[in-house]
Amino acid sequence: MNQGSPELYITKHDDDSETQAIPLVRADVVNTIIVQFEKQGINMTEALRHANISREMLTDSSNMIVNTSVKSIFGKVYTDEGIFTFVEAVIHTQRTQLIPHFVRTLSKNLTLREVLTQFNLLIRESIPVASQYLEVNDNSAWFCSAMQHKEVNDWQEIFNVLYCVELIRSLTNNLAWRPKSLALIQSRHGQFAKNIPSDIQLLFSQQNTKISIDLELLDQTIYTHYPEPVAKEIIWHSTFTDTLYTALAPYVHEQNLDIELAATLLSMSTRSLQRKLLQEKNSFRAIKNSLLFNTACDLMKQNLNLTQISVQLGYADIAHFSRAFKRFSGIPPKRYQALLCDVTPDV
């Protein structure tokens, strides 16, 4: 699930030294699709619980959710509700929210060729490192997706293809457009393949997903009715430590976060996680302490009392929280909170 779900990729090395990717999905995008599922009468409570995701995590657009949890949610909906319910919700969300959000960031002077060639850069606000590319030769053009997963489930490829098609339709202002050819990772026996119009040529068991694009469309100026966008500063996550911090931030409020849970969320062994952090001269304990300290400070600014904060951060009692906070910051939390409020604490 690349284009439709903003993801952040970093490189990781498992014990077998195989290079893979750890994707993070922007929380508000996940929430948008979940809301649409619910509008169609699907109860998402069990799917969210099974994926260790709370409603609060999803409502903060600054949160990034680990992709294994997202895969768990969408995979369950696809399995339980079937392809048609899944596709209906995905298309509606892509047309009304995900694609308009991307298109409004594009300059009116771009051609379709430029958008697809520079897609990974243009969408970096939502997907810091995307994996799409335009493949052009004398006779054909393909918009390709090199998905960053060992195993690509049918629903992921469906989401991906639908996004690509809806994007081209939006940029060309032609809701009837569809590709003449489609290359799929899944086999001819997949549910998606069985429901694709018969006039589209299908190629099965391919290495990457690809949709064909008419060559004459590439040099057309894109259609957008949005005003010319203002450039925004992009926040880059350049190290494993930065990305791990971002991935774990939504979970600080929810449970007592330990290295086993962190490794599970990232589909890594604890040994691999520790080794990656050691390479950057860091440790899980240091990251966790930093997360807890920064989160505690944020909660203090919201005027929560120290008992409420200690409970939210998973401490057994306020005494344990106070000792941990003082060990990290050098001053007791009550004193720090007083400094934030610019008042003298009671003695």
Cα 90 to Cα 106: distance, rounded to the nearest angstrom: 22
Reported pTM = 0.69
Q: What is the pLDDT along the chain (347 residues), one digit of tens a residue?
A: 344 434 433 333 344 333 344 567 778 888 999 999 999 999 999 999 888 888 888 888 778 888 788 889 999 999 999 999 999 999 999 999 999 999 999 999 999 999 999 887 777 666 544 578 899 988 899 999 876 555 778 898 999 999 999 999 999 999 999 999 999 998 888 888 888 999 999 999 998 899 999 999 999 999 999 999 876 554 545 678 877 888 888 888 655 688 888 888 777 889 999 998 888 888 898 888 888 888 888 888 888 889 888 888 878 788 988 888 888 777 888 888 877 665 444 43
What fold is seen in the domain 240-342? Arc Repressor Mutant, subunit A (1.10.10)
pLDDT at 18: 36
pLDDT at 257: 80
Q: Which two tokens stand for residue 273?
A: 């996680």
Domain boundaries, the chain: 108-231, 240-342
Q: Which amino acid is at 204?
A: F
Angle at alpha carbon of residue 199, lines to 145 and 191, rounded to 5°: 60
